[in-house]
Amino acid sequence: MRAEILATGDEILGGALIDSNSAFLAEQLELLGLEVTRHHTVGDNLEELVAVLEEIGKRADMAVVTGGLGPTSDDLTAQAAAEAAGVSLVLDRQALDDIKGFFATRNREMTPSNRKQAMLPAGAIVLPNRIGTAPGFAIRMGRCWFYFMPGVPGEMRRMFKDQVVPHIRQVFDKELHPARVMTITTFGLPESEVGERVAQVEHLFRGIKLGLRAKFPEIQVKLYGRCDDRQQNPDPLSKAAAWVCDRLGHNLISDRGLSLPAVVGQLLKQKQATVAVAESCTGGLIAHMLTNVAGSSDYFLGAVVAYANQVKTNVLKVDPDIIESLGAVSEQVVEQMASGVRNLTGADFGLATSGIAGPAGGSREKPVGTVCIGLATGKGVISRRYRLFFGSREAHKTIFAAVALNRLRLGLLASHC
Amino acid sequence: MRAEILATGDEILGGALIDSNSAFLAEQLELLGLEVTRHHTVGDNLEELVAVLEEIGKRADMAVVTGGLGPTSDDLTAQAAAEAAGVSLVLDRQALDDIKGFFATRNREMTPSNRKQAMLPAGAIVLPNRIGTAPGFAIRMGRCWFYFMPGVPGEMRRMFKDQVVPHIRQVFDKELHPARVMTITTFGLPESEVGERVAQVEHLFRGIKLGLRAKFPEIQVKLYGRCDDRQQNPDPLSKAAAWVCDRLGHNLISDRGLSLPAVVGQLLKQKQATVAVAESCTGGLIAHMLTNVAGSSDYFLGAVVAYANQVKTNVLKVDPDIIESLGAVSEQVVEQMASGVRNLTGADFGLATSGIAGPAGGSREKPVGTVCIGLATGKGVISRRYRLFFGSREAHKTIFAAVALNRLRLGLLASHC
């Protein structure tokens, strides 16, 4: 069962747009049990489109195609599909009614160019688009089933799940060997070391496939296994996941693919505890990461971004003499910041950062990449200095914020509230 | 001059990794003056690799290939290139010395598998890798020049600029028609409307190519023109850019591709003014965006993320009776938050947000997507309520933060300090 993926459009071909559709589709097709063998990208060029469709039709059993279904003259995919299939374009009544309905329910006017979107290759099966104007379509050319979908990621994903997956299941039926995926989140190790630690999993557990996905600064370990493994108890996929988690030790963040801020949130909820943050170099990023988690208002009270020293002293009550003598990037200052924000907000935990994200501001003693992190609890306050070199200002902010959240995570795991 | 791009590797083919290399290379090749006609992706599979290399060799004048040059048994690119070229793999002395040197200068041990990385197709030109172990190589197959580079983005980009571009310039010389690019940033219009407003630019200005890149919530308009336009003064590219800027009106953020926070920072610097932020629903994102700009400590004093109402009342001195009677998401509350953070920090401008990012917390009167934004200056405080529906919690935070920063931008443009 050979599956290929084609992305179309000058924006992707020319690099103005990074193609995320093909990665999404590849993962979904593999989970369905199809073997993806190639991706292609071509531009809004009829001759190239027809050529690549003909080539795919000779090689593959099925193919998914995104883009080029819009109303403008650059949108050539339906025409190319018709030429490759050796049929003509015909007005599809259902597609036209869907487009009319789309505009009617939104009180918008349908333009004549939208009518073009209802012109599909003769013999194609229309794939309705519930959230956009561009209908998709499925058509068989030789032995290969082609599924044409819009390039807008939201529309494509909806159409894939609602229309394409059921059709694939119906057409290919018993040839599919669906897989399950388990995602394990880790933090604090370079990707190469994560890879080395877990590399043996494919050899130790038959039928398990390994993938690593770097979501800086976290790394996800993905394990894929076939669904018929479910008959065993515990199944090989769960056994493999347990082995991987064991290999990751305290660098394991979540055995269910949760992010670091989500895990911190879970631990806070379990302990019915609250947190507040005092940020200097991370500039609001820790608060942003915590509040990206839905329901964070249950445990996150707030933050003070104390970028200027006057905010550190006036709002967080850091001793100006200590800033003067030891510098804002020091263990003593982050300890006072952590205690300060804890006192100011009444939170159970106060977390603080002060460091040098760069590009300027570094010194020989405190180079760019230096960060001090403080954690205040009811039992006192601790701090530590780190040196982390990651090149850019944004990368430094990100790694500083993650190290701080991980410090809080370890504190929550160790505390007995 | 037909150029094609091939990305290799199971992680990209299976969707575990999104391929950003191909977009980078496409843009760079187009700027050099080559016409990119296709991208491909295949996995770590010798047969597929050889087949696709042979196909490309028949169609293209040049091709860039990324990935598969590592030390493991999955790294098959050099072997595939040798098979496609009909030559054998031979040990390249220079490549081996480079790899040895890489390990020596880092006090790391070279493993036997790294020796494999110095095995290149006979007749290939080695492309040294200054920052990694995998050497690249260039080889001609038929009329097509192939450039093989590592898949690690940093190593690939360095090798492309230092080694591949000079070789392309030398080999293709007068067949190249280099282009320049100008980037214009806009905010506040849907992509379709930006497209409609500027679509005529390609017709009005001969030789100009248009591209749109959505960097939510900003949209970049990219204009590409040939370098020989420079002889005219002003050149067509600058004229086209001026026309586009005019069409965008007050939705123009930057005629040099700067982001909204960077433009706000520039305006604050020009006016020697400072800002502080009081964030509820945006949860630290505005502070994070402002502090992503290097040098932001010149004008950004700090922020209070007042997520819990007790932080709004205790730290920002918002009247609890007003929260009680009107709700935290109200014009009056954001006005008091904006004034509160301005007073607390001594900043010239106080910017505040309170809204409902979702998924929970919405009501009939104040649905998810509602946000109130307040701006306090020396002359008083203003506020406005917006309803912005963008689906997800993160999208709402992002659009709320951008609308607030744009409010500050418009305030800075209007103010006469």
Q: What is the pLDDT of residues B196-224, one digit of tens each?
A: 899 899 999 988 988 877 788 999 998 98
Residue B228 is predicted with a pLDDT of 64
For residues A20-47, average pLDDT: 94
pLDDT of the residue at B210: 87
Distance from CA of B131 to the nearest CA of A (A): 14
The per-residue pLDDT for B249 is: 95
Residues in B 365-394 with any Cβ partner in A closer than 8 A? 391, 393-394
pLDDT value for B417? 47
Nearest by CB: B284 against A15, A45, A285? A285
Do the Cβ atoms of A292 and B394 come within 8 Å?
yes
Distance between A88 CA and the closest CA of chain B, angstroms: 26
Helix/strand/coil for A379: coil
Give tens-digit pLDDT for B248-268.
999 999 999 999 999 999 999
Most distant CA pair in chain A: distance in Å?
82
Pair of tokens at residue B190: 């849907």
Contacts B342 to A, Cβ<8 Å: none
Q: How far apart are CA B412 and CA B406, in angstroms?
A: 10
Say if B304 is an interface residue toward chain A (CB within 8 Å).
Answer: yes
Residues 46-75 of B with CB under 8 A from A: 48, 52
Structure token digits, residue A287: 């608060």
- pLDDT of the residue at A227: 67
Same CATH topology for A2-175 and A179-254: the answer is no
Q: Is the pLDDT of residue B230 over 60?
A: no
Domain B2-175, CATH homologous superfamily name and number: MoaB/Mog-like domain (3.40.980.10)
The alpha carbon of residue B409 is apart from the nearest alpha carbon of chain A, in Å, by 20
Residue A111 is predicted with a pLDDT of 79
pLDDT in tens, A52-96: 999 999 999 999 999 999 887 788 999 999 999 999 999 999 999
Domain-by-domain residue ranges, chain A? 2-175, 179-254, 260-414
- Cβ–Cβ contacts within 10 Å for residue B386, how many? 15
Structural contact between residues A372 and A383, judged by C-beta atoms closer than 8 angstroms: yes
Cβ separation B213–A20 shorter than 8 A: no
A306–B305: do the CB atoms touch at under 8 Å?
no
Mean pLDDT (chain B, rounded): 93
- Closest by CA position to A66, among listed A116, A114, A129, A110: A129
Cβ neighbours for A215, distance < 8 A, ≥ 6 positions apart: none
DSSP state of B390: -
Find the CB nearest B36 among A13, A36, A302: A13
Top mean pLDDT of B100-104, B112-116, B282-286, B361-365 is at B282-286
Nearest to B283 among A291, A308, A344 (CB): A291
Residue (of A259, A275, A293, A220) closest to A402 by Cα position? A259
CB B288 within 8 A of CB B298: no
pLDDT above 90 (res A214): no
Chain B residue whose CA is closest to A214:
B17
Q: Which residue of B has its CA nearest to A274?
A: B308
Task: Return the pLDDT at A354.
Answer: 98
**B52–A16 C-beta distance less than 8 A:** no
Q: Which helix (H) or strand (E) holds A40?
A: strand A35-42
Taking 90 as the threshold, does the pLDDT of residue A231 lie above it? Answer: no
Instruction: Say what the pLDDT of residue B231 is.
Output: 65
At A245, list the tokens: 């988690």
Cα torsion angle, A35, A40, A46, A50, sign? negative
pLDDT of residue A416: 57
Check pLDDT > 50 for residue B68.
yes
B317 touches chain A (CB under 8 A): no
pLDDT at B92 over 80: yes
**Could A306 and B302 be called an inter-chain contact, meaning their C-beta atoms sit closer than 8 Å?**
yes
Dist. CA A372–CA A361, nearest whole Å: 15
Helix (H) or strand (E) holding A149: strand A144-149
What is the value of pTM for the model shown? 0.85
Burial class (CB in 10 A: 0-12, 13-18, 19+), B85: buried
pLDDT at A12 over 50: yes
- The answer to whether the beta carbons of residues B241 and B255 sit under 8 Å apart is yes
Q: Which residue of chain B comes nearest to A345, CA vs CA?
A: B311
| Min distance A167 CA to chain B CA atoms (Å) | 21
List the single range of A105-119, B116-130, B196-210, B364-378 with lowest mean pLDDT. A105-119
In a mutagenesis test of the B interface, which of A291, A315, A337, A345 is the best target, namely the one with the most B β-carbons within 10 Å? A291
Tokens read off for B106: 């880092």
Q: Does domain A179-254 have CATH number 3.40.50.300?
A: no
Proportion of chain A above pLDDT 70, given as a percent: 98
Locate the chain B residue with the closest alpha carbon to A42.
B38
Q: Give the nearest chain B residue to A10 (CA atoms).
A: B211
Structure tokens at B205: 């200005």
Of B39, B308, B394, nearest to A302 by CB-CB distance is: B308
pLDDT for B120 beyond 60: yes
Contact list, B276 vs chain A (CB under 8 Å):
311
> Cα dist. A264→A123, B146, B210, B279 in Å?
54, 48, 45, 21
Q: Is B355 on the interface with A (CB under 8 A)?
A: no
Class of domain B260-414: alpha beta
Asked if residues A280 and A307 have their Cβ atoms less than 8 Å apart, the reply is yes
Contact A237, A171 (CB under 8 A): no
For residue B175, what pLDDT is reported? 83
**Residues on chain B touching A310 (C-beta within 8 angstroms):** 301, 345-346
Cβ of residue A111 closer than 8 Å to a chain B Cβ: no
Q: What is the pLDDT of residues B42-62, one digit of tens each?
A: 999 999 999 999 999 999 999
Residue A113: which pLDDT band, with cuts at 50, 70 and 90? Answer: confident
Cα A291 to the center of its chain, rounded Å: 17
Q: Which of B102-106, B236-240, B290-294 has the lowest mean pLDDT?
A: B102-106
**pLDDT band per the 50, 70, 90 thresholds, residue B110:** confident
Q: How confident is the model at residue A391 (pLDDT cuts 50, 70, 90)?
A: confident
What ipTM does this complex have?
0.85
